[in-house]
């Protein structure tokens, strides 16, 4: 707390409208606000920016935007250099997963280990004092006084809800976190920005992608080793440019001519350096196996209950049941088969609008038969 007894909230500021308005709303509620901006780009990778993203050389502009927002709000602002931590944790994870033929989710790793972890630890070690941490995520945190547990819930605006990326947050992290935008819709945030004289931040494009460039080979040590593309019967139907450039459900880069219908990536086998492709209907799977689980609600209280699951950030929630396998994994059975289940991606379970927990997809299933 400051000398006046007000709680101090550190806000993760990216320079965009959401984090700027999060800081503004907290100010309006009477909190003392301190801005924290992560520096994660270190110029160690040679690339050319082609789009808006979280990681790339244009981060310098985002840092400048965050500094300008802090000046406009009249708040203290700090830049925290996390380039080493980000490279060693997020970039290495991203690289390793793709090389192994899996589909990583760097935002989940960044949130749990960097933004809600290393950032706060390094800020504290730097002598920055704060009581709570806030971001511009569209999600909500509610305390359950009966179970003495913090619950993570979807944001009110379902089109912007970002709870999927936050399922690995611990009770300790949830206790010290605020999401000021969780009870707002995006159009309301835009109105607040204009009324507060912060409309300049509305012009900044939202970071929809992880990287500011398209060629993952820059991170993966080259274009990769070419290999075969086979159909579901194992017949060679084409050549790929390296398994790290493909993910389940992908159509582009297959370059398959003469097919009666469009083909998609069905499986990626990094050990055999082989990709299986087939028609869209073959992407449907009855279930999956997930591991590396993290539960916000006790799994014992959920066992046997119908849940909703998301297998990608933009996927529709799907009805499912979750069964423990005895080896630390769970078997997920969907009421209706799901398309493009990608090993390496996160699956997040919901009980209503509350995040129950989630894990990492290991393999897909057709009935009891393992596919990946």
Query: Please, which contacts does 277-281 make with residues 24 or more away whose CB atoms are closer than 8 Å?
Result: 277/229, 277/230, 277/231, 277/237, 277/238, 278/231, 278/232, 280/339
Per-residue model confidence as pLDDT tens for the chain (372 residues): 655 558 999 999 999 999 999 999 999 999 999 999 999 998 877 777 777 788 888 899 999 999 999 999 999 999 999 999 999 999 999 989 988 889 999 999 999 999 999 999 999 999 999 999 999 999 999 999 999 999 999 999 999 999 999 999 999 999 999 999 999 999 999 999 999 998 777 666 666 678 777 767 777 765 578 899 999 999 999 999 888 888 899 998 898 888 889 999 999 998 899 999 999 999 999 999 999 999 999 988 887 788 999 999 989 999 999 999 989 999 999 999 999 999 999 999 999 999 999 999 999 998 655 555
Q: Write down the pLDDT at residue 371.
A: 54
Instruction: For residue 359, give the DSSP letter.
Output: E
Q: Write down the pLDDT at residue 241.
A: 84
Q: According to the 3-state scheme, what is the secondary structure of 227-295? A: EEEECCCCCEEEEECCHHHCCCCCCCCCCCCCCCCCEEEEEEECCCCEEEEEEHHHHEEEEEEEEEEEE
The pair of structure tokens assigned to 3 is 């000398």
> Domain ranges in the chain?
8-211, 222-281, 284-370
Radius of gyration of the chain (CA): 22
* Overall fold of domain 8-211: Rossmann fold (3.40.50)
Q: Judge if 8-211 and 284-370 fold alike in CATH terms.
A: no
Q: Write down the pLDDT at residue 50.
A: 74
Q: Write down the pLDDT at residue 57.
A: 86
User: What 3-state DSSP class applies to 219?
Assistant: coil
* Domain 222-281: homologous superfamily in CATH: Adenine nucleotide alpha hydrolases-like domains (2.30.30.280)
Residue 241 phi, psi dihedral angles, 5° rounding: -100, 15
Exposed, middle or buried: residue 54 (CB in 10 Å: 0-12, 13-18, 19+)?
Answer: buried
Q: Read off the pTM.
A: 0.92
User: What 3-state DSSP class applies to 38?
Assistant: strand
- CATH architecture for residues 284-370: Beta Barrel (2.40)
Report CA-CA distances (Å) from 278 to 205, 228, 248, 270. Answer: 36, 14, 11, 18
> CA 203, CA 287: separation in Å to the nearest integer?
42
Exposed, middle or buried: residue 56 (CB in 10 Å: 0-12, 13-18, 19+)?
Answer: buried
The pair of structure tokens assigned to 218 is 């820059």
> CA 125, CA 234: separation in Å to the nearest integer?
56
Nearest to 60 by CA among 17, 107, 15: 15
Q: Write down the pLDDT at residue 302.
A: 83
The pair of structure tokens assigned to 366 is 């057709």
Q: Write down the pLDDT at residue 286.
A: 95
> CA 153, CA 177: separation in Å to the nearest integer?
13
């Amino acid at each position: 707390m400051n000398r006046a007894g007000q709680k101090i909230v550190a806000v993760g500021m990216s320079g965009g409208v959401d984090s700027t308005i999060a800081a503004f709303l907290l100010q309006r509620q009477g909190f003392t606000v301190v801005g924290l901006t992560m520096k994660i780009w270190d110029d160690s990778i040679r690339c050319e920016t082609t789009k808006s993203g979280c990681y790339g050389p244009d981060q310098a502009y985002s840092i400048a935007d965050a500094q300008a927002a802090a000046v406009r709000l009249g708040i203290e602002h700090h830049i925290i250099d996390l380039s080493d931590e980000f490279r060693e944790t997020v970039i290495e994870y991203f690289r390793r997963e793709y090389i192994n033929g899996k589909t990583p989710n760097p935002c989940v790793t960044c949130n749990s280990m960097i933004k809600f972890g290393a950032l706060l630890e390094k800020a504290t070690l730097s002598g920055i004092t704060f009581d709570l941490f806030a971001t511009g995520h569209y999600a909500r945190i509610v305390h359950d006084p009966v179970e003495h547990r913090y619950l993570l819930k979807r944001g009110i605006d379902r089109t912007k809800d970002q709870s999927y990326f936050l399922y690995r947050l611990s009770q300790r992290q949830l206790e010290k976190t605020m999401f000021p935008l969780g009870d707002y819709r995006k159009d309301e945030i835009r109105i607040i920005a204009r009324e507060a004289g912060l409309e300049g931040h509305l012009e900044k494009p939202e970071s929809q992608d992880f990287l500011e460039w398209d060629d993952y080979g820059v991170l993966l040590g080259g274009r990769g080793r070419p290999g075969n593309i086979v159909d579901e019967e194992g017949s060679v139907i084409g050549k790929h440019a390296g398994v790290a450039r493909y993910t389940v459900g992908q159509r582009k880069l297959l370059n398959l001519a003469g097919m009666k219908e469009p083909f998609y990536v069905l499986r990626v086998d990094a050990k055999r350096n082989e990709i299986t492709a087939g028609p869209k209907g073959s992407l449907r799977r009855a279930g999956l196996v997930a591991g590396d689980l993290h539960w916000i609600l006790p799994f014992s209280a959920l066992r046997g209950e119908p849940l909703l699951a998301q297998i990608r950030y933009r996927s529709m929630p799907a009805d499912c049941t979750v069964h423990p396998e005895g080896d630390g994994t769970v078997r997920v059975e969907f009421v209706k088969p799901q398309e493009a289940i990608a090993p390496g991606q996160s699956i997040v379970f919901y009980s209503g609008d509350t995040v129950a927990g989630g894990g990492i997809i290991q393999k897909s299933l057709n009935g009891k038969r393992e596919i990946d």
